C-alpha cells in the first residue's frame, strides 16, 4: 500500500514496517517504523486506548477458547457426519444417536457463529486480529459426501 500526503510518502514494506519518506525541497529523508511504534504514537496522541494487563489476559483467554471451540466443532461435525453416513441401520437403530449428534453439531455451530469477532492473539498488550480468516466447517445437516476416519493430526487438540 502506498499513500502520498503532500510532501510525505507512506509505504508499507514487505517486512511489515512502515516507511515514511519526506521529499521536501529536493532532498529525501526516510524513516522506517515498526507497527508497534505506530501503535505507541497513536496511544500517546489519544487516538487509541492502551490495553491493561487484565484486558490482555482476558483477550488471550478468549483467543484460546476460540481455538479450542473450533477444534471441538470440527470433531462434533465429523462424528455426526460419520454416524449419519456410515451407521449400520439394518442391524441397529441408531436414530437417537444420529439425531443427538446432529443437534449437538447444530448447537456447536451456533455457539461458534460469532467467533470471528474474537481476536486471534494479544501480543505485548496489543490485539492482533486475523484479517480474512474464514471457518471452513460444514454443518452436518448439509453434509452429503463421504466422511473418512480422522488422522492422528486431525485428532490433536490445539492448545
- Between 10 and 4, where is the model more confident? 10
| pLDDT band at residue 3 using 50, 70 and 90 as cut-offs | low
- 16, 30 contact by CB (below 8 A): no
Within 10 Å of residue 67's Cβ, how many Cβ atoms? 16
Provide the total of helices (H) and of strands (E) in the chain, helices listed first. Answer: 4, 6
**pLDDT reported for residue 4:** 62
* Best CA proximity match to 81, nearest among 141, 121, 137: 141
Give burial (CB, 10 Å; 0-12/13-18/19+) of 101.
Answer: buried
How does pLDDT run across 72-124, given as a tens digit for each residue?
Answer: 999 988 888 888 888 777 788 888 888 888 888 889 888 888 887 776 655 55
Element of type H or E holding 26: none
Residues 30-64 pLDDT 10s: 999 999 898 889 888 989 888 788 888 888 888 88
Rounded mean pLDDT of 65-76?
90
- Please determine, for residue 154, whether its predicted confidence score (pLDDT) is greater than 70: no
Whether 23 has a pLDDT exceeding 50, the answer reads yes
In this structure, the chain runs to a length of 159
Q: What pLDDT, on a 0 to 100 scale, did the predictor assign at position 156?
A: 42
Say which residues have a Cβ less than 8 Å from residue 68's Cβ, sequence separation at least 6: 157, 158
What pLDDT is stored for residue 13 in this prediction? 94
The pLDDT, as a whole number, for residue 1 is: 61
pLDDT (0 to 100) of residue 136: 42
Amino acid at each position: 500500500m502506498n499513500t502520498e500526503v503532500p510532501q510525505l510518502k507512506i509505504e508499507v514494506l514487505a517486512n511489515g514496517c512502515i516507511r515514511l519518506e519526506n521529499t521536501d525541497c529536493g532532498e529525501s529523508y526516510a524513516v522506517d517504523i515498526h507497527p508497534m511504534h505506530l501503535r505507541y504514537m497513536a496511544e500517546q496522541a489519544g487516538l487509541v486506548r492502551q490495553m491493561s494487563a487484565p484486558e490482555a489476559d482476558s483477550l488471550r483467554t478468549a483467543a484460546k477458547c476460540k481455538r479450542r471451540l473450533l477444534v471441538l466443532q470440527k470433531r462434533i461435525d465429523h462424528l455426526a457426519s460419520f454416524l449419519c453416513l456410515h451407521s449400520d441401520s439394518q442391524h441397529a437403530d441408531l436414530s437417537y444417536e444420529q439425531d443427538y449428534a446432529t443437534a449437538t453439531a447444530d448447537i456447536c455451530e451456533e455457539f461458534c457463529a460469532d467467533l470471528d469477532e474474537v481476536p486471534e492473539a494479544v501480543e505485548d498488550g496489543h490485539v492482533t486480529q486475523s484479517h480474512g480468516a474464514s471457518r471452513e466447517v460444514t454443518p452436518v445437516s448439509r453434509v452429503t459426501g463421504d466422511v473418512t476416519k480422522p488422522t492422528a493430526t486431525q485428532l490433536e487438540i490445539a492448545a
